[in-house]
């Protein structure tokens, strides 16, 4: 089957949903992932054809169904590293890369012999793994309640050749925590927990709403800081002195987050905006 013909079919069936440019970008990502064919090769050889065009037609149906391209390909990039993703894992976002960058810049301030880092709600493992890769002296722990997410995160640790201690537990329920975990002290605790309020569902794109795991995304309108409260409390006892707590946050709840960290006795609290000028992350240090 000629690739140019498939590309034409993509435009016919998808341009109205995504626009021409995005359809081209999906098409080129797919031919590279399925056949190792780059857009330049296709430009040079406009007659290029593939034996198994069925894969491209199946992906076309998935795109019509507004499934995220990352799930169709099964992989994405975060902080310059490859990550497997599937419907058990949130697709890592660029805002989260900014959080990782902030932590990497902060860590030389910590004068600890062993730097123990804990990532709560690890999902694909993107935060934990990129920290392990960029702070090779650190011992990194990654926790999630979802066995499906943890299994993917383990594959991603192997794929990126880093060693991570994985923990299956519910951060909201201390009865699910092992004694080792309860007693471990950390230099840095980081979390990008579920923070989208049910009332914000209407602001979300259907491809996110209908495909990404709701366990990773949503909290009840009445208690949007549920995870932050539990994690700040855990961090109050399990961070070493001068240890730091980093959160990705809901852009509408920056003030409430400052209040939460203040009432939990954190100091040097800093609210930070992402590149889109939205309140997106916060840091507090233990006294
Ligand atoms: C917003 S996602 C973040 C995923 C990943 N860290 C990232 O930044 O892309 C939140 C993660 O928290 C996990 N999670 C939800 N409820 C949890 C709980 N009660 N205890 C631990 N993890 C939980 C979800 O499975 C999901 O992987």
Determine the average pLDDT of the residues in 252-261: 98
Express each pLDDT in 57-111 by its tens digit.
Answer: 999 999 999 999 999 999 999 999 999 999 999 999 999 999 999 999 998 787 6
Residue closest by Cα to atom 8 of ligand 1: 192
Cα separation of 78 and 90, whole Å? 12
pLDDT tens-place string over residues 130-142? 999 999 999 999 9
pLDDT computed for residue 53 by the predictor: 87
User: pLDDT tens digits, residue range 172-227?
Assistant: 999 999 999 999 999 999 999 999 999 999 899 888 999 999 999 999 999 999 99
Task: Give how far Cα 255 sits from Cα of 52, 124, 260, 263, 270, Å.
Answer: 54, 29, 9, 12, 11
- On whether the 79-286 domain is CATH 3.40.50.150, my answer is yes
Structure tokens at 278: 């939205």
Ranges of each domain in the chain = 3-65, 79-286
Structure tokens at 202: 């209407």
**Which single residue is written with the structure tokens 């406009």?**
46
Identify which has the larger pLDDT, 269 or 42.
269
CA 189 – CA 238 distance, rounded (Å): 9
The alpha carbon dihedral of 28, 74, 209, 79 has a sign of: negative
Closest CA to 97 of 283, 284, 280, 268: 280
- Residue to mutate (ligand 1; options 76, 90, 177; most atoms within 8 A of CB): 90
178: buried, middle or exposed (CB in 10 Å: 19+, 13-18, 0-12)?
A: exposed
Task: Give residue 71 CA to ligand 1 midpoint distance, Å.
Answer: 18
How many Å apart are CA 155 and CA 89, to the nearest integer? 12
Q: Which of 123, 157, 248 to mutate to test the pocket of ligand 1 (most atoms within 8 A of CB)?
A: 123
Q: Is the pLDDT of residue 231 over 80?
A: yes
193 Cα to the center of ligand 1, angstroms: 5
**Residues 6 or more apart in contact with residue 166 via CB below 8 angstroms:** 122, 141, 142, 143, 144, 150, 153, 154, 157
Q: What is residue 45's predicted lDDT score, i.e. its pLDDT?
A: 87
pLDDT at 113 over 80: no
- Rounded to the nearest integer, the mean pLDDT of the chain is 95
Nearest C-alpha neighbor of 248 from the set 208, 173, 196, 202:
196
Confidence of residue 49 (pLDDT cuts 50, 70, 90): confident
pLDDT of residue 32: 94
Which residues sit with their C-beta closer than 6 Å to ligand 1? 90, 92, 96, 121-124, 126-127, 143-146, 149, 170-172, 192-194, 215-216
Q: Which atom of ligand 1 is nearest to the CA of 89?
A: 27
Best mutation site among 87, 92, 193 for ligand 1 pocket (most ligand atoms within 8 Å of CB): 193
pLDDT per position as a tens digit, 18-41: 999 999 999 999 999 999 999 998
* 246 confidence band (pLDDT: 50, 70, 90): very high
pLDDT of residue 205: 87
Check residue 2 and report its DSSP letter. Answer: B
Mean pLDDT to the nearest integer, 118-126: 98
Spatial separation of the C-alpha atoms in residues 235 and 225, rounded to whole Å: 15
117-141 mean pLDDT: 97
| Nearest protein CA to atom 12 of ligand 1, as residue | 121
The stretch 268-282 carries a mean pLDDT of 97
Residues 6+ apart with CB under 8 A from 201: 209, 218
Mean pLDDT of 268-285: 97
Query: Residue with the nearest Cα to atom 24 of ligand 1?
Result: 216
The pLDDT value given to residue 15? 97
> How many whole angstroms separate alpha carbon 235 and alpha carbon 232?
5
Smallest CA-to-CA distance from 48 within 33, 31, 60 is with 31
Residue nearest to atom 18 of ligand 1 (CA): 170
Q: Ligand 1 atom 11: the closest Cα is on which residue?
A: 121
């Amino acid at each position: 089957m000629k690739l140019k013909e498939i590309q034409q079919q993509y435009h016919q069936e998808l341009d109205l949903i995504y626009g021409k440019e995005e359809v081209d970008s999906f098409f080129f990502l797919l031919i590279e992932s399925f056949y190792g064919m780059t857009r330049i090769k296709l430009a040079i050889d406009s007659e290029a054809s593939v034996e198994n065009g069925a894969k491209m037609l199946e992906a076309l149906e998935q795109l019509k169904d507004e499934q995220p391209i990352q799930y169709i390909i099964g992989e994405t990039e975060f902080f310059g590293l490859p990550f497997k993703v599937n419907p058990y894992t949130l697709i890592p976002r660029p805002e989260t890369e900014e959080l990782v960058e902030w932590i990497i810049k902060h860590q030389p301030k910590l004068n600890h012999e062993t730097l123990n880092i804990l990532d709560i709600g690890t999902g694909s493992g993107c935060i934990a793994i990129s920290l392990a890769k960029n702070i090779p002296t650190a011992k990194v722990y990654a926790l999630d309640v979802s066995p499906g997410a943890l299994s993917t995160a383990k594959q991603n640790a192997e794929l990126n050749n880093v060693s991570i201690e994985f923990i299956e537990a519910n951060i909201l329920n201390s009865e699910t925590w092992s004694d080792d975990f309860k007693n471990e002290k950390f230099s840095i605790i980081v979390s990008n927990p579920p923070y989208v309020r049910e009332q914000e569902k209407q602001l979300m794109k259907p491809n996110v709403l209908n495909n990404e795991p709701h366990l990773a995304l949503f909290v009840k309108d009445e208690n949007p800081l549920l995870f932050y409260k539990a994690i700040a409390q855990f961090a109050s006892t399990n961070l070493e002195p001068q240890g730091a707590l980093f959160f990705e946050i809901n852009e509408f709840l920056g003030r409430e987050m400052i209040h939460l960290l203040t009432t939990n006795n954190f100091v040097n609290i800093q609210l930070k905006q992402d590149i889109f000028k939205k309140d997106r992350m916060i840091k507090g240090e233990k006294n």
